[in-house]
Amino acid sequence: MRKMLAMLLAAIMVLSLAACAAPAESAPAATTEAATQATNQAATQAATQAATQAATEAAKEEPAEIIQVDYYCSIGAYLFTLQDEVTKWNEGEGKEKGVYLNIISNINSYTPDLTALLEAGTHYDLIDAGTANPQWVEKGYIQDLSEIEDAELKDLIQSYSPYLKKGTNYQQGVLTGLPLEVVPLKFAVNVDLFEKNNLEYPKTWDDVVECAKVITENGKGAGPEGADVFGFGGTTWSGMFQRLVIQSSLSSVGKTWWDPNTETYDWSAFKKPLECVKEMYENGWILGMDDLAIDPIRARFADGVVGMFPAPSYDYAVYTSQFPAKCNWTVIDMPTIEPGEAPFKGGYMDRNGCSIDKIAYEKADDAKKAAIVDAFIFLNSDYLNGKIYESGGMIPYKLEIIQNATPNADLGPQWTLFGDITNYTSLPLVPDSLVPLEGDKHEPVLSNWCHTPGMPVEEAIEDLNTRYNAAYAILKEDADVDLSSFAYEYNTKR
């Protein structure tokens, strides 16, 4: 600043000297006056240019104060894309606003590490609270976004109003974050195996069984290096039935095992797909139910020895990066229970965006608070979400972002198919973690039923319905427990 003032003073001195310039002694009066005027104008113009240049150079050397905003994030899948876009923002719009967004990434042990930091009094401006850390809300670490008086932020929140959800975005009455991405559950098929066996893609669960039978019976030693080929993929993973059978069937049933409208547990609507899985297992048409965890069965699908496998959208990265597919594959909507068009929308899992740390925000002065909000708005902007979608990183909530985006040319067509969420909606929240259940939870009960020859599914369903509903009734009697996040009007009709 001192240097700039010195240069401006020098320019003023030049102007002053120009104004005092004397005419040439030998020139006539008129000529002398014109020459003097021209000289003064030239000197003034030169001095003005010098002053402008001096001010510009001084501004470059001594920029306005930049306020740093620290974001301690848990992002891994699209971290490189995020860092690139943040760098561009820091050098452009962020710099204009006087804000520098600093990304600190921890993708391996985020929750325990940040919990320890918060409890020790170390607070970052922005953090990823998500839905897995309700204790952070209880301890007052998370700022309620709706209480911040900022017009641009309020407009952003309003733009997400159709997607804001209790228990996800609103936790204990606090708007903790905005919707970040959806993870639709679809159905991956091995195109090569279907073409080889002259099969159409399955439209119902009965079709799934028939296709699995044909692919398996024709696949003895037909895989890579003489491996046997199987029609369907199963796993010992604890979410096998929950994720790959029940939640995936939302388009047929309109709910999961928990119905928010009636506040009841009921597995009976999933009798058909459960029995289809057991039929495939007992006939040897399914690989992995006895000995393969979730990643190994994905690897077998990528190897080309599994014909079909339910797939959340993050499986795109699995089959392109983690286990690059050796077969041609695509994704379709989940097969339905009954023939015909699915009566309900399919399901996707929700992910929350970043949160503002309440402790850090309250301690900040007005300028720092404004900088935190500016950084938060950028991280939740349609522009950034669109760029991450285009790179294959995540699928944003807003359809207009997807429709206006152009995925990178090197992305496979599966990514665009995963991104078609026209007829998909959020899966309901379930109170399973709160109910005082006696006995085994639903996943081991269903796994045990599937592995027990001759055991009817009705027996397992009745056991689950009875115990879970009884436990929920006990939970409702606890006046200290707020169950409003799990009991609400839930409509998934197309």
**pLDDT (average), residues 291-304:** 96
Beta partners for residue 181, in sequence order: 351
Assess whether pLDDT exceeds 70 at residue 6.
no
Q: How far apart are CA 146 and CA 417, in angstroms?
A: 35
Q: pTM here?
A: 0.79
CA atoms within 13 A on the CB side of 186: 25
What is the per-residue pLDDT for 133? 86
Give the tens place of pLDDT for each residue, 125-157. Answer: 999 998 878 889 989 999 999 999 999 999 999
pLDDT tens, residue by residue, 451-484: 999 999 999 999 999 999 999 999 999 988 889 8
Confidence at residue 27, expressed as pLDDT on a 0 to 100 scale: 34
- For residue 20, pLDDT beyond 60: no
Q: Classify residue 65 by its DSSP letter.
A: P
Question: What is the pLDDT at residue 26?
Answer: 32
pLDDT number for residue 64: 65
Per-chain mean pLDDT for the chain? 88
Question: Residue 5: its pLDDT value, please?
Answer: 39
pLDDT at 255 over 90: yes
Q: What pLDDT does 53 receive?
A: 52
Q: What is the pLDDT of residues 171-191, one digit of tens each?
A: 989 999 999 999 999 999 999
- Give pLDDT, residue 1: 40
DSSP string for residues in 143-178: --GGG---HHHHHHHHHTTTT--BTTTEETTEE---
Who contacts 224 (Cβ-Cβ below 8 Å, separation ≥6)? Answer: 303, 304, 305, 326
What is the biggest distance separating any 2 CA atoms in the chain, rounded to whole angstroms? 124
pLDDT of residue 179: 95
Question: Contact 335/205 with Cβ under 8 angstroms?
Answer: yes
d(CA 386, CA 158): 19
pLDDT value of residue 32: 39
Is 39 a residue whose pLDDT tops 50? no
Q: Percentage of the chain with pLDDT > 70?
A: 87
Least confident interval from 39-43, 82-86, 226-230, 296-300: 39-43
Q: Name the pLDDT band for 321 (thresholds 50, 70, 90).
A: confident
What confidence tens digit (pLDDT) does each residue in 418-432 have? Answer: 999 999 999 998 999
